[in-house]
Amino acid sequence: MSIRTQYDSDLEALKAALAEMGRSSADAVEDALEALCTADADAAAGIVKGDGRINNMEQDIEHRCMTLLLRQQPVAGDLRRISTAMKVVTDMERIGDHAADIAEIIPHLVTVRKEGDPAVSQAIRMGQKAHQMILDALAALTAEDETAARKVIAADDEVNCDFNAIKHTLAREIAADPGKVDAALDLLMVIKYLERIGDHAVNLAEWVEFVRTGCYHNETLF
């Protein structure tokens, strides 16, 4: 196999590994929302356990990137794609972490909040929007579609709005009944993790411009 053929094969393998990690992180968020919706403590425990696999994926991709940089010395577009992969895996790993963080709260949360709790339902809807942002950001990255990436960035406003609305709902809940403070704080942590997941989806989308042009936030990196 020629050097160029091996190089192209390694790039394709990197792209596939990155796509798999992105799907796994998005699936972890979806599974956490499902466990929250169904009050499934066993499923939540499985999400926490599965976070190690996502961490291993991050390490594997970082190793692939470093190998390509050191052995092949890529230029131009290929260099930007490899550099982007090294950046976005951090956000993908954090998305997986936050899904696990939510899952860790679920067993206690379901004991203090009744089935059909309006605030929990609001949180799930907020989470579904954040999850969609991840899917759209991953698609924008794969297609190197700046227009799609900008839509992801704009969608974060709605997730932030939901976060503030639920936070105010929980504050009123505590004011009306201080005995509900633990239940409110548990859900507050859930929505904070969901808000951060949205932020990480924005980060993913923002790297699309760099892949295409070498600029990030209107600053030329190289």
N-term to C-term CA, the chain: 31
Q: How far apart are CA 57 and CA 62, in angstroms?
A: 9
The residue ranges of every structural domain in the chain are 3-220
pLDDT (mean) for 36-57: 96
Would you tell me how many other CB atoms lie within 10 Å of the CB of residue 206? 20
Strand (E) or helix (H) holding 51: helix 41-72
Give the sign of the dihedral formed by CA 80, CA 201, CA 203, CA 197.
negative
Measured CA to CA in angstroms, residue 41 lies from 80, 87, 123, 195 at distances of 42, 33, 17, 22
Note the pTM of the prediction, 2 decimals. Answer: 0.93
How crowded is the C-beta side of 152, counted as CA atoms within 13 Å? 30
Spatial neighbors of 59 by CB under 8 A, at least 6 apart, are: none
Of 85, 86, 79, nearest to 221 (Cα)? 79
Q: Are 173 and 184 in contact (CB under 8 A)?
A: yes
Tokens representing residue 209 in the block: 């411009």
Q: Which pLDDT value is given to residue 220?
A: 53
Residue 146 pLDDT exceeds 80: yes
Residue 218 pLDDT exceeds 80: no
Q: What is the pLDDT of residues 188-213, one digit of tens each?
A: 999 999 999 999 999 999 999 888 77
CATH no. of 3-220: 1.20.58.220
pLDDT (mean) for 62-76: 87
